[in-house]
Structure 1
Amino acid sequence: MGSFGAALLVFGGVALVMTTHMVQAKGELEAAIPMAAAVQKQLVAGDNEAAALSARKLESHTKKAAGATGGRLWRALEWVPVAGPNLAAVRVAAVAVNDLAVNAVVPATGLSIDQLKPVHGRINLEALAAMEGTVQAANASANRASAQLARVDRAGLFGPVEAGIARLDSGLGQVGGLLDGLEKTVKVLPGALGAEGPRNYLMLFQSNAESRGTGGNPAAMVLLTAEDGKISISQQASSTDFVNARPKPIIPLDRETEALYGDKIGRWIPDMTLTPDFPFTVKLAKAYWAESFGTRVDGVISFDPVALSYLLGATGPVTLATGDTLTAENAVPLLLNEVYFRYEDPKVQDVFFAAAAASVFDAITSGVGDTGALVQQLTRATDEGRLMYWTDDKSQSKILAGTRLTGTLPTDNANATVVGAYINDNTGSKMDYYLDVTNDVTSTQCQARKPVLTGSVTLTSTINAADARHLPAYIAGVNFRPGDISTDVVLYGPVGATIDSVQVNGHKVKPSYSGQHLGRPAVKVRVFNVPGAVRKISYTMTGAPGKYGPLEVHGTPMVRPTPVTLSTPGCMQ
């Protein structure tokens, strides 16, 4: 046959073996991806039996994929031009996913989300502490797998290989996000729930019908006490229990905050949430509470009626002392609109709000409903900025740093390129129940050294003139014609950026404030909507050279969802 023929035969044999292994690895990895997603959904739903079955199937697929790519021949051929990087990428993916399956997913199925369910009003802190080691190891494995995939150079990969790696990366991100959140939870909850002694939490209940930066007017407040896993309501208060219209702010204001939001942010308790910086609101809230009641406050929580409706979707309906039945469907219209038609006296309104909060609180602490659904809805509320948490515990603060739960904007652009769009009512009314907001941003951060961001915030009045004439004075306010909505919109650019131009409905406007706040450029623009009107604020920003993470918009959580459209041409999707 000769040496040339022998070489061809050997080469053909190698090609056949490698093709067989490649097809096997591809098939096993493709089968593993949906299994990982299934395990995640089943764990969140509390179906551990189904999750364990899916995890075993996942492990079987990943072991076979790792085995198919683990031979010496495979590694040797990774040096071959063109084909080699693709072989290396498939091997790394197989090893990473197998590590995830064996050391993260399978152990995680032994955890029960029902450990978070209160029994006789108490969460089992001992069971939570016992989960920590397993969760920490599983999360470490997920981080290792993500790091391995991140090191793969995707520039020279074939289309199908690159797409497969992207799918795996996305799946790993979801699993990693779940485990990271769970690890933070099991680390923070025992201390937060009074494992080392009683803790007092001031809960602000923000009304989205009267928008403020982080949500709305915090007219209703509740003091919660947590001790040894049991939470109780210690005290309830409203904005009328504090000294408002004070001659000077309750605490000193920094120059930037006062210039942007005015000294009213520290003189009126309904205005202490004007800023998107929740820790500053906390300072104000603690000062007001100390002045009026003197009770020690160890932490502050912010919540809104929309988030409350989410929780009702998990707990089921609750009956109020008034005889009303509060459901996931009627909570928002009842608490943010109908109550003002029903009761003219603000004090009676506050009693109604307090009754609603207490009833839902009782349902949650009694363990009623689906724990998995409750966790999902709390996560949803956090992602939308409706749930925020501040604690004086430094170890907890360190664990939670950088999460949406803290109610802060990032201090750089490395992990997220954040544009802020915050809504503050200027009508002195509850008219924001009838205001819809949308956001649209495009960034050239993957195409230019100094990215250009163009975007818009659109405010739409959803009430018509005929209905506006019949609004109660408490909803319409007394400073404008019934149905009119006056709004201050505050825009924040990425760190180091400049805000170059602002227009309203195509006409250039001069912002009422232009400067810096929270280490970012900020402008304030006032717009006025008559019934049915639409106001579109358009802007252009220019970023500084540097690293830019995924594009995001942070803004005020409104009564209804705030759609966000993002575009980053040239970025890997």
Structure 2
Amino acid sequence: MILQTGAETRATRRTGRRTHRARRGVDGLTSKQPFARHAGAETTPQRWRRKTSVVVALIGGPLTVVILALAVAAGVFVWQVIQVRDDLEGAVAQSKELVRAAASGDVDGIQRSGGDIVAHAQRAYDTTQNPLWDFAAQIPAARTNIQAVRAVTDIAHTITSQSIPPVMTMMAASGGDNTGSGINLRPFLHAGAVIPTVLTSFDEASQIASGMDRTGVLPQISAPVDQLQSMIQQATPILTTVEEHLPEILRAAGAERPMLYQLMIQTPAEIRATGGGVAQWLVLKVDDGNVDMLSLDTGTDLMYTDLPSRGFDTVNGSLLRLPTETRQLYPPEMTNWSSNFNMSPDFPTAVELFQKTREWTDKPKFDGAFSIDPIVLAHLLEATGPITLASGETVDAQNAGSKLMSEPYERYGIDNAAMDRYFSEISAAMFSKLTGRQWDIGTMWNQVVRSAQEGRIYAWFDDSSLEGLAHQYGLDGTLQEDNTSSTQLGIYFNDYSIGKLEYHLTYSQFATCNADDRTITVSMELHNSITDAITSGYTLGLRNIERGIDLRTMMLDVLFFAPPGGKIVSTDPDEGDRWDSTFHDRSGSDHENPAVSRTLLLPEGATRTVSYTVKLPEGDLGPLELRHTPGANDTKVTIDPSCAPLFRSPEGSDNIMLSKIG
């Protein structure tokens, strides 16, 4: 019974399902109606929604994948851009470390920094060369910036891959770390084989930078290119000069034997023809590239102790017998007192007088001599940063001139010993700063060139080839005996007050010509800006007292020089302002250069113009070299275009003192 009931139940269920399916057709339910039991007829909106859902199902999945892939790719690209930026910044940072390591002879530091630079640049370059960057470069809005970034990495890669490895090899061959207290130049002694490679890489990098399209390039991208181009522009002349004169530079650096140098520090506050009275000088030894300061000598010790103790008469004696026509041009104290040795605008004359003092004091003669002034030190502080004295006082680029030429005189009065200690501390601190190697070579080079262009750096060498190099670049400070390489004219000043008044002297220089008459007129406008606030007896004019002249009035010997073969036609003033037994007008010649001297009184607050006219010699004249005494302040020099027909163009010359007319 039970089995029968179960069978009937299954049969009943099968019959019911067949009946239900048949009934669906009878009731009008078709495949076009909703798949929902008991649903009504499908409306038009329902039909559109159903079709859309099918399309989204078919297309939406792959599109979502594409969007996600693009988002991931964009994220990866942004990350790569950041990585490239970090690599380039890392390369720049390590390049500074490489320079410091090279200056100190730190071979391990050289290898470490050099390797890091190459690695950073290589990774940045490789990153920008992958297909993702190719794809990004096809996007119009991003194309120029992507290409610019690639150019930056290409420039960095070109320079580092070609230059750094041989530089590292050169440095490693230098023989180890520097243990001396000076600047170790030894790593650069093998630069001859490396410099051409470096210059080639610079040239290729410059071509890449020049060919870069900067249209629409973001400043963040173009700035590194500008920095690289600036670096190349700074480094190229340095390397070119080194390559051209490497044998001489190595000799000067003590590669063949130790060299003994004098570094004079002139003081324009007590003005002299080449700058100012030499109050102190450093004695330097350069041996195989290593510079050490042996002593810091002063004129006070030399003139009051060293020379008198050996029998030299510092009042009536003479260390050097000058030709008669030269001796007539200068006061007699030029050859018997160290602060007057540079009354002649011929720098080698000052060197010769110092060499005579070495003979008198039984000391070895100098192989070379250099001269700078406090303004040069101020310029160098732009590169090194400020120095701090034991007292906590700071000396920087802005106040160095005042602290070396004015403030100490007010502070210490006539206490020479205290002032010498103060100046010596600054000089020693400056030398330590320079040898501390924490400065940028490019910045330092620019400041050296700036100082030389202002006529504040002189160089003399006993070695003829080295002296020829100094002459080639216009650093020798010689009075030319002909007009072949240059035609020299100049106005120079010598203080006669015995004070430091000329810290307050400002002047400008200008020249005009008459080509038909073959004449040139050179003028200088002078101004005495001293005030009553200056009261130090060390600053005010000592010799003024006995002459009844106001102590703030400058007593100057003004020297007017014509070139060899030229003739001074007139001067203004025609006669000097004062004439006595020692302070009076003079005339003569120095190294075949005709010259006259006029006494000049320049009172406090006064402005005055001095000038002279020269009849130039016949024949071809070399480029105009218009000289003047480098003072405590900047000097503006203007040469009128009317002078152009009289002188050869200086184009192509290395002499940085030659004038660019007009």
TM over 0.5: yes
Report if aligned partners of 1:225, 1:231 keep a CA contact under 8 Å in 2: yes
Query: Structure 1: which amino acid aligns with 2:374?
Result: P
Q: Residue 131 of structure 1 aligns with which residue? A: 192
Q: CA deviation at 1:237?
A: 1.6
Q: Which runs of 5+ in 1 are unaligned?
A: 1-45, 53-105, 143-172
Report if aligned partners of 2:326, 2:588 keep a CA contact under 8 Å in 1: no
Residues 326 and 549 from structure 1, CA distance in 2 versus in 1: closer, same or farther, beyond 3 angstroms? same
Q: Tell me, in whole angstroms, the C-alpha distance in 2 between the residues paired with 1:287 and 1:495.
A: 28
3-state DSSP class of the match of 1:207? Answer: strand
Tell me which of 198, 208, 214 is aligned to 2:274.
Answer: 214
Equivalences for residues 103-252 of structure 1 within 5 A: 110=163, 121-131=182-192, 134=195, 181-183=241-243, 186-243=246-303, 245-252=314-321
Q: Does 1:536 align with 2:600?
A: no
Q: Residue 17 of structure 2 aligns with which residue? A: none
Question: Quick check: 350-359 or 415-424, which moved more?
Answer: 415-424
Residues 358 and 509 from structure 1, CA distance in 2 versus in 1: closer, same or farther, beyond 3 angstroms? closer
3-state DSSP class of the match of 2:524? Answer: strand
Equivalences for residues 28-427 of structure 1 within 5 A: 110=163, 121-131=182-192, 134=195, 181-183=241-243, 186-243=246-303, 245-292=314-361, 294-344=363-413, 345-427=415-497
Q: CA deviation at 1:177?
A: 6.9
3-state DSSP class of the match of 1:404? Answer: coil
3-state DSSP class of the match of 2:556? Answer: strand
Q: Tell me, in whole angstroms, the C-alpha distance in 1 between the residues paired with 2:497 and 2:193.
A: 49
Q: Does 1:554 align with 2:627?
A: yes
Query: Structure 2: which amino acid aligns with 1:326?
Result: V
Residues 175 and 226 from structure 1, CA distance in 2 versus in 1: closer, same or farther, beyond 3 angstroms? closer
Q: Residue 429 of structure 1 aligns with which residue? A: 499
Q: Tell me, in whole angstroms, the C-alpha distance in 2 between the residues paired with 1:502 and 1:398.
A: 34
Residues 383 and 554 from structure 1, CA distance in 2 versus in 1: closer, same or farther, beyond 3 angstroms? same
Q: CA deviation at 1:278?
A: 0.9
Greater Rg over alpha carbons, structure: 2
Report if aligned partners of 1:506, 1:538 keep a CA contact under 8 Å in 2: no
Question: Quick check: 550-559 or 404-413, which moved more?
Answer: 404-413
Report if aligned partners of 1:490, 1:524 keep a CA contact under 8 Å in 2: yes
CA-based RMSD: 3.7
Report if aligned partners of 2:260, 2:366 keep a CA contact under 8 Å in 1: yes
Q: Tell me, in whole angstroms, the C-alpha distance in 1 between the residues paired with 2:333 and 2:260.
A: 27
Q: Residue 539 of structure 2 aligns with which residue? A: 475
Q: CA deviation at 1:184?
A: 5.6
Report if aligned partners of 2:488, 2:562 keep a CA contact under 8 Å in 1: yes
3-state DSSP class of the match of 1:297? Answer: coil
Count of residues paired in the alignment: 435
3-state DSSP class of the match of 1:475? Answer: coil
Residues 175 and 310 from structure 1, CA distance in 2 versus in 1: closer, same or farther, beyond 3 angstroms? closer
Tell me which of 554, 566, 573 is aligned to 1:497.
Answer: 566
Q: Tell me, in whole angstroms, the C-alpha distance in 1 between the residues paired with 2:187 and 2:479.
A: 34
Higher relative contact order (CA 8 A, sep 6+): 1
Query: Structure 2: which amino acid aligns with 1:237?
Result: D
Query: Structure 2: which amino acid aligns with 1:477?
Result: G
Report if aligned partners of 1:125, 1:190 keep a CA contact under 8 Å in 2: no
Q: Tell me, in whole angstroms, the C-alpha distance in 1 between the residues paired with 2:346 and 2:578.
A: 26
Q: Which runs of 5+ in 2 are unaligned?
A: 1-98, 100-113, 122-158, 172-176, 204-232, 305-313, 545-549, 650-661
Tell me which of 595, 604, 614 is aligned to 1:522.
Answer: 595
Q: CA deviation at 1:179?
A: 6.5
Q: Tell me, in whole angstroms, the C-alpha distance in 2 between the residues paired with 1:137 and 1:241.
A: 48
Residues 132 and 534 from structure 1, CA distance in 2 versus in 1: closer, same or farther, beyond 3 angstroms? farther
Q: Tell me, in whole angstroms, the C-alpha distance in 1 between the residues paired with 2:450 and 2:325.
A: 32
Q: Residue 513 of structure 1 aligns with which residue? A: 586
Report if aligned partners of 1:485, 1:529 keep a CA contact under 8 Å in 2: yes
Q: Percent identity?
A: 30
Q: Residue 618 of structure 2 aligns with which residue? A: 545
Q: CA deviation at 1:509?
A: 11
Q: Tell me, in whole angstroms, the C-alpha distance in 1 between the residues paired with 2:398 and 2:290.
A: 29
Report if aligned partners of 2:577, 2:601 keep a CA contact under 8 Å in 1: no
Tell me which of 490, 514, 520 is aligned to 1:453.
Answer: 520
Q: CA deviation at 1:521?
A: 1.7
Report if aligned partners of 2:326, 2:589 keep a CA contact under 8 Å in 1: no
Q: What are the superposed Cα offsets for residues 318-338 of structure 1, whole Å, 9 maximum, x if unpaired?
A: 112343211111110011000
Residues 328 and 545 from structure 1, CA distance in 2 versus in 1: closer, same or farther, beyond 3 angstroms? same
